Structure 1
Amino acid sequence: MVYQLCHQQGLKYEEAALAMNISPQTVHAYMKDALRKIRTHFKNHAIGYTVFFLSLFK
């Protein structure tokens, strides 16, 4: 939810914190964790995404 509010909808951490009734520090921690998980996912699946995108251009 924090990722959606901040990264996709463009809310600032303080705005997301108010919307979710949590502290801005918690929003920051959740964003840090979400981005780490996204980076790890793409790092672990880079070959699969490369093959997928290359197959689109055949």
Structure 2
Amino acid sequence: MALKRPSFLPSLDELEQQAQSRSSQRGRPGSHFDHPTAKALFVAVLAVTVIAHVVGGIVFLVLGH
């Protein structure tokens, strides 16, 4: 007895067509972020890292001598 695919699920042909259309769509040139939250998080972490290194360098110079 073969199981029938539920009607609410897309067929394999539909899934393949969706995958091809997604792969043909490219993001903006130079953009590596598809999600704005990911970009914001990356920028925030990058800023905190740079600030921490600058503050650490200043502390190292002041207390190192």
Structure of higher RCO (CA pairs closer than 8 Å, 6+ residues apart)? 1
Under a length normalisation based on structure 2, what TM-score does the superposition of the two structures give?
A: 0.39
Larger Rg: 2
